[in-house]
Amino acid sequence: MSPSRSIRLPARRPRASITAPQRLLRLRITFSRGTEAKYCSHLDLMRLWERTFRRAALPLAYSEGFSPHPRIALASPLPVGVTSEGELMEVYLRKRVSPHFFLEQARPQLPSGIDISQVEEANIGLPSLQSLVRQAEYRVEVEHQADRAGIEARIDNLLAQTHVPVERPRPGGAKLLDLRALLDQVWVTRTETDRCVLGMVLRSDSHGSGRPEEVVAALDLGEPLSMHRVRLILERQGEP
């Protein structure tokens, strides 16, 4: 910045937290997304957390480089329109704060529809949260004249197949995949007069993720009335 007219900005101090990773605090957060916020996308949700934590004045740790980003990782993208009570994320802080303090600071800054149910410290040496996710459990409501036996027969039929090809539309052309390989369990939770609630556990890892609406379609039950993610199932669950 040598030439005649220029602005001198104070040099940014190197952030010790970034150059010395052992001093970072890694927190694992369980959160829910209700109806009010269910139409935001995965990227929207990333932005939402970033802004929520900044409003809460929490000491976020940032990535290095010219456009630093806060180190926030969501375990698994939650599809648009799906609610959830068991989402997982991790955030790195550059100073130690207690999980309780973190929760107290963040809660008042949450938009309606989003809530945090648990904050706990995670071992800094663990592999990334995304790499630990194995399965996701969903609860899906479908429109159907109550006929539990009929639906269960369809489920048995679906599970008896070894290969269920489905086409997943993508911007660059549809992709063909095997839904059966992504489906671990599906069951009827309850039936009401005009609707039926299904439970299902779908594969969700680096090889692919099953989508509940694809299972509903494969059962010939039309389009779901609502979809809710109950929990994400991690490898070695319970040992964050």
Partner 1 sequence: MNQDQAISQEDLDRILPRVTRPARYAGGEWNSVKKGWDSVDVHLALIYPDLYEVGMSNTGLSILYELLNDQPHVLAERAFTPWPDMETAMRRVGMPLFSLESRRPLSQFDIVGFSLGYELTYTNVLKSLDLAGIPLLASRRTDQDPLVIAGGTCVINPEPMADFFDLFVIGEGEEVALELMETYRAWKSRGDGSRQTFLRQAAAVPGIYVPSLYDVSYNPDGTVRAITPLTPEAPARITRRWLRKLPPPPVRPIVPFMEVIHDRAAIEVQRGCSRGCRFCQAGVIYRPPRERSMEEVLEAAEAILRNTGHGELSLISLSTSDYSQIEGLVNELAGRHQAEPLAISLPSLRMDAFSVGLAEALQKGKRTGLTFAPEAGTQMLRDSINKIAAEEDLVRTAESAFSRGWRGLKLYFMIGLPGETDDDIEGICRLTRRILDIGRYCTGHQVGIRIGIASLIPKPHTPFQWAPQANMENLEAKIRILQQGLRRTGVHLSWHDPNISLLEGVLSRGDRRVGKAVMRAWELGCGFDAWTEHFRFDRWQQALVECGLDPAFYAHRERTLDETLPWSHIDPGVSQGFLRREWNRSQSGQTTADCRSNTCAGCGFQALPSGCDVAGNHNSSVVRES
- State which of residues 16, 19, 22, 43 lies at the interface with partner 1 (CB under 8 A): 43
Interatomic CA distance for residues 6 and 9, integer angstroms: 10
* Contact of 227 with 140, CB cutoff 8 Å: yes
Among the listed ranges 40-48, 130-138, 145-153, 157-165, the one in contact with partner 1 (CB under 8 A) is: 40-48
Interface with partner 1 includes 10 (CB under 8 A)? yes
Task: Look at residue 188 and give its three-state secondary structure.
Answer: strand
Q: Which is nearer to partner 1, 79 or 199 (CB)?
A: 79
Within 13 Å and on the Cβ side, how many CA atoms surround 101? 9
Q: Which residues in 205-234 contact partner 1 (CB under 8 A)?
A: 223, 225-226
* Contact of 161 with 180, CB cutoff 8 Å: yes
- State which of residues 25, 27, 29, 40 lies at the interface with partner 1 (CB under 8 A): 40
* Contact of 21 with 124, CB cutoff 8 Å: yes
Q: Which is nearer to partner 1, 122 or 225 (CB)?
A: 225
Q: Which residues in 120-179 contact partner 1 (CB under 8 A)?
A: none
- Going through the chain in order, the beta strands assigned E by DSSP cover 25-33, 72-74, 83-93, 114-121, 133-143, 165-168, 175-178, 183-191, 195-205, 208-209, 226-234
Site string for partner 1, 51-70 (x = CB under 8 A): xxxxx-x-xx-x---xxx--
Q: Which is nearer to partner 1, 9 or 149 (CB)?
A: 9
β-pairing verdict for 25-33 and 83-93: antiparallel
Among the listed ranges 35-43, 119-127, 174-182, 191-199, the one in contact with partner 1 (CB under 8 A) is: 35-43
Interface with partner 1 includes 42 (CB under 8 A)? no
Interface with partner 1 includes 111 (CB under 8 A)? yes
According to DSSP, the residues that pair with 74 across neighbouring strands are: 89
Interatomic CA distance for residues 34 and 116, integer angstroms: 11
- State which of residues 25, 27, 29, 37 lies at the interface with partner 1 (CB under 8 A): 37
Give how many residues touch partner 1 by CB under 8 A: 44
Interatomic CA distance for residues 177 and 200, integer angstroms: 18
Cα end-to-end span (Å), the chain: 48
Q: Which is nearer to partner 1, 132 or 210 (CB)?
A: 210
Q: Which is nearer to partner 1, 57 or 159 (CB)?
A: 57
Binding positions for partner 1, rule: CB under 8 A: 1, 3-10, 12-13, 15, 35-37, 39-41, 43-44, 47-48, 50-55, 57, 59-60, 62, 66-68, 80-81, 109, 111-113, 223, 225-226
